[in-house]
Structure formats: C-alpha cells, structure tokens
Amino acid sequence: MEQIEKGSLHPLTLVLEEIYSIFTKQGFSIATGPELEDEWHNFDALNVPKDHPARDMQDTFFIKDKPGFVMRTHTSPVQIRFMENHKPPFAIVVPGKVFRNESTDATHEMQFHQLEGLVVGEGITVEHMKATLLNFLQELFGKETELRLRPSFFPFVEPGFEVDVKIVKDGEEKWLELGGAGMVHPNVFDAVKYDTQKYSGFAFGFGVDRLANIKFGINDVRLEYQGDLRLNQF
Ligand code: YSA
C-alpha cells in the first residue's frame, strides 16, 4: 500500500500556540481585529497625523476602490478597537497578519504576522512592561534569555523602546531585534476617551515570524509563505 506522508502544524501555528499559552496563564485575553482597516484606526487614532513623516516608516497598501482604507500595516489598530469597547483594567494580546508594500529579503516579507500586547489600568509602569516582556521571552526561549530595551520612537508611545533579545544557543550569544514597546501615549488615550489622569498602560508589538525563526532556526522569513512541505520538519 502507498505510504502517505503525515502532515504537521506550520511553525507559525506552533509558536502562536505557545505564545497564547504563556500569556493566558498570566491572565491575558486574546483579541483580534480586521485586516482591511480604516486609516483612522491604523494611523490617526495612534497619534500619526496625515502629514506626519512617521507614516513613511510603514509602506502602506492603500485600497484603490475603497478610499480611506488600507491593508493594516501593523496590529496596533486593534489596540484602538479594543479600547473603544472596553474599560480598564485589562491585558490583551493580539495576533494577526499585517501587510507592507516593501521589497522582500530574508528578514522582510510583504505579508507577515505580528503580536501586539496592551495592558491598561491604574498605576501601570515601565517596570511592569519590562517584567512582562522578560517573563514572556524566558518562557519562550529559556531561562538564560536576556532582554535589552533601547530608546526609540513610535508615535503611539512615550517613552518608546526597541526590544532586543539575547539568545544563547550552543554556547553562542546573539542579540536580535524583535519589535517595539512603550508606555501608551496620552493622545492615544484621548482618542478613545480614557481619563489620562487615572489610567496608564504599556504596549508592545513583535514580529511573530521572527520569533518562529529564532525558535526553529529558520533563516529566511519567505520560506514560511511558500507552502514548502519541508517545513514539516518542525
Ligand atoms: C511599537 C510600540 C508599541 O507600543 C506597540 C507596537 C509597536 C510596533 C509597531 N506597531 C511596528 O509595527 N513596528 S515595526 O514596524 O518596527 O515592526 C515591528 C516588528 O515587526 C519588527 O521589529 C519585525 O520583527 C517585524 N517586521 C517588520 N517588518 C517586517 C517584519 N517581519 C517580517 N517582514 C517584514 N516586512
């Protein structure tokens, strides 16, 4: 009888399942939002005005037949959608596919996945952010994993940070950039009519493909979208 090869889960699915387990154990809920997004949620409400150079940071696919709409360039608009319908305190993570009109290479695809996080309540500080991120990365990559925050700019946070992770594999150390994070900007809270005197919060956004590649030793993000059955090995 012909032997039929057994399939297996995609590396992105595997890493996302582990991510959900780590965050739900800590009391986070999982939220989602639309891939076709209006510019207000994708940019304006996130403190990125129409003429702001920060819009150039993300190469946008605009929708010809639907003016005012874009393929979302990041999962951050789901922060706004969630806050429009919920009152603090809460802690969420948001997985999702995002799209950017850019040329591809081993670390860049036109479609990829991000994981957004948002924690809002009274008395939330940058220390809570650092502890949450470190715990997450150590659970995912092991107890030796270290976190590095570098000052950076994202319009929707102040202060903002670039998040790097130190991976130790076979005795070798390597720093890799995972994404951004910071304390939610008061203008973002104003957009969703939260009391900025009462509430504070932190947010973060990581590339899930990058997390999966580190986890499984995959060296080219484009492999994840080609339906290549050799990915079965993970
Ligand atoms: C920052 C601060 C916050 O409080 C919340 C979220 C963020 C992240 C922000 N929304 C953002 O999208 N930043 S980013 O453009 O630097 O992308 C974040 C991560 O997505 C990158 O560090 C990288 O890991 C991944 N990424 C970006 N472009 C990519 C990509 N992965 C694959 N292909 C691409 N083209």
pLDDT tens for residues 57-96? 668 998 999 999 999 999 999 999 999 999 999 999 999 9
Q: Which residues pair with 90 in a beta bridge?
A: 120
In ligand 1, the atom with minimum distance to the C-alpha of 117 is: 5
pLDDT at 56: 63
pLDDT at 46: 97
Percent of the residues in the chain that have a pLDDT greater than 90, as a whole number: 75
For 64, list phi and psi in degrees, rounded to 5. Answer: -60, -45
Pocket of ligand 1 (CB under 6 A): 58, 74, 76, 100, 102, 108-109, 112, 114, 116, 154, 156-157, 177-182, 203-205, 207, 209-210, 221
Give the pLDDT mean for 158-176: 90
Residue ranges and CATH numbers for the domains of the chain are 11-124+187-233 (3.30.930.10)
What does the alpha-carbon distance between residue 110 and residue 104 come to, in Å, rounded to a whole number? 7
Asked if 147 and 164 touch (Cβ cutoff 8 Å), the reply is: yes
pLDDT at 131: 98
In ligand 1, the atom with minimum distance to the C-alpha of 102 is: 35
Averaged pLDDT score across all residues of the chain: 92
Environment class of residue 143 by beta-carbon count within 10 Å: exposed (0-12), middle (13-18) or buried (19+)? exposed
Asked if 132 and 155 touch (Cβ cutoff 8 Å), the reply is: no
pLDDT at 223: 86
Distance 4 CA to ligand 1 centre (A): 39
Q: Which residues pair with 99 in a beta bridge?
A: 111
Ligand 1 mutation target, pool 93, 114, 220, most atoms within 8 A of CB: 114
Specify the residue with its C-alpha closest to ligand 1, atom 23: 207
Residues 124-158 have pLDDT tens digits of 999 999 999 999 999 999 998 999 999 999 999 99
Q: Taking 70 as the threshold, does the pLDDT of residue 113 lie above it?
A: yes
Q: What confidence tier does 234 reach under pLDDT thresholds 50, 70, 90? A: low
